[in-house]
Amino acid sequence: MNQPPESPHLRRARIAVVAAFVANGILYGSWASRIPAIKEQAGLDAVHLGFALLGAPLGMILTMTFAGYAAGRIGSHRVSALMLACCSLMMPVIASSTSFVMLAGALLIYGAAHGSMDVCMNANGLAIERAGTTPIMSRLHGTWSIGSFLGAFSTAIALAAGLSVFEQFVVLAIVMVVSAAVLSQTMLADKHAAGGAVFRRPTRRLAIIGFIAMCGLVAEGSVGDWSGVFIKETIGGTAQQAAIAISVFSAAMATARLAGDRLTEIFGAARLVALGALVSAAGMVSALAIAQPLAAIVGFAFLGIGIAATNPIALRAGGSQPGIASGVGIAAVATMGALGTTSAPPIIGTVAGVVGLRAALVMIVVLLLILAASAGRAIGSPAATVPEPAVPTDSA
């Protein structure tokens, strides 16, 4: 049987999965806020940076489906901890990249580990949600955004202290490897017999949920990949302002996600996604039209608020499909979402090389409007966003 909702074991597991989301966010925030410095160090223009950034989502696509299968066979807790250690060890390698090939290769491996951890920690969080009595998925993604904020804020501190990218990432790697060892022993032991093939064609429902995830992740990722470059190089901001933009975006998204489970109950999943997409589009338009560092920071904050609920809703829906293991369903949605993020960086970078980054980012506004218009059709069924009844998990 499932652990009682208030048992010490379940409370410890809940804290552990929160810590996993925070750690994953810290890694992303630290990397994303250092993109301008790494771009300069590697001597890349916008076009080559866009294709180098392709490495991370490509690595995710290549491994997410297998990660969902491994979560069932090995345990989402074990795979999450192992992938956190792998991500951490790649951070100094990314910081040492001095060419396009080195950066793209490092990001490919980092993306494979990061995407695998993403799938498995979401599967672990969904298992805890089912074992308890209240939804927690949006709040877990809120803690990820808090971690992303902390990672970006740590970059601002590192800049003030005069630390190089390599020095900052070495310290980060040491802390995260130790954290991975602790999490491997404290996360909920969530292991199921996963039958069938590792790779399977997604159902129609998973495909349309994956489209929603794709739209949200492209918009979210555009801020991580390009906001710092936009502020520093397009509108003449400072490196500190570029790092602050990531921090404020992450803080705004975290705040919205912490309330996301309750807002979903009030508005409904489809309406919340649609309204949020319109808020995000307005924020992006403001950032691009006013073209001042402060206005851009505020605009990116509103983008974060609006897009906050999209990914948690899509992943919960993917992991709650009848007859499909949660890890496999989450992996299918996450993989389709990553397909969008794979194509976005090189497309934005290529267009930016022709018409400028500001004009290239208008594509994100168009995508957000498409998301607002299609949310009702994609997530129209309440059953698509309600988790299945609790499933057995191994005891620790």
Each residue's pLDDT tens digit, 196-211: 444 556 677 788 888 8
Q: What is the pLDDT of residue 191?
A: 66
Lowest mean pLDDT of 272-281, 322-331, 387-396, name the range: 387-396
Does the structure show a pLDDT above 70 at 1? Answer: no
Structure tokens given for 236: 């003449």
SS3 280: helix
Q: What is the pLDDT of residue 133?
A: 63
- Is residue 211 a part of any domain in this protein? yes
Percent of the chain with pLDDT over 70: 91
Helices (H), the chain: 8-33, 35-42, 46-53, 55-70, 76-95, 100-131, 137-161, 165-186, 204-229, 239-258, 260-267, 269-290, 293-307, 310-318, 326-355, 357-360, 362-378
- Is residue 240 a part of any domain in this protein? yes
Q: How many CB atoms lie within 10 A of CB 203?
A: 15
Assign residue 142 the CATH number of its domain.
1.20.1250.20
What lies within 8 Å, CB to CB, of 108 at 6+ separation is 55, 56, 58, 59
Between CA 117 and CA 283 the distance in angstroms is 30
Note the pLDDT tens digit of each residue in 134-149.
778 888 988 987 898 8
Q: With b meaning 16 or more CB within 10 Å and e meaning fewer, what string describes 216-230?
A: bbbbbbbbbbbbbbb
Does the structure show a pLDDT above 70 at 179? Answer: yes
Q: What is the pLDDT of residue 389?
A: 40
Note the pLDDT tens digit of each residue in 57-87.
889 888 988 888 888 788 899 999 999 999 9
Domain count along the chain: 1
- Is residue 1 a part of any domain in this protein? no
Structure tokens given for 36: 């301008």
In whole angstroms, how far apart are CA 227 and each of 55, 252, 276, 300? 19, 15, 20, 8
State the sign of the Cα–Cα–Cα–Cα dihedral 328, 329, 334, 339: positive
Does the structure show a pLDDT above 90 at 218? Answer: no
Does the structure show a pLDDT above 60 at 377? Answer: yes
Does the structure show a pLDDT above 70 at 110? Answer: yes
Q: What is the pLDDT of residue 57?
A: 81
HSE of 258, CA atoms in CB hemisphere, 13 A: 11
- Is residue 390 a part of any domain in this protein? no
Mean pLDDT, the chain, integer:
84
Q: What is the pLDDT of residue 393?
A: 39
Q: Position 111: which residue type?
A: G
- Is residue 396 a part of any domain in this protein? no
Note the pLDDT tens digit of each residue in 250-292.
788 888 988 988 888 888 888 999 999 999 999 999 999 998 9
pLDDT grade for 391, boundaries at 50, 70 and 90: very low
- H or E stretch covering 4: none
Q: What is the pLDDT of residue 200?
A: 57
Which residue range(s) make up the domain with 77?
A: 8-189+202-385
Query: What average pLDDT does range 369-376 have in this prediction?
Result: 88
Q: What is the pLDDT of residue 4?
A: 47
Q: What is the pLDDT of residue 362?
A: 92
pLDDT grade for 366, boundaries at 50, 70 and 90: very high
Q: How many CB atoms lie within 10 A of CB 322?
A: 9
Higher pLDDT, 378 or 101: 101
Between CA 3 and CA 129 the distance in angstroms is 11
Q: What is the pLDDT of residue 253?
A: 83
Query: What average pLDDT does range 42-63 have in this prediction?
Result: 86
Higher pLDDT, 381 or 172: 172
What lies within 8 Å, CB to CB, of 236 at 6+ separation is 293
Q: How many CB atoms lie within 10 A of CB 8?
A: 9
- Is residue 74 a part of any domain in this protein? yes
Q: What are phi and psi of 238, to 5 degrees?
A: -95, 170
Query: What average pLDDT does range 294-301 have in this prediction?
Result: 93
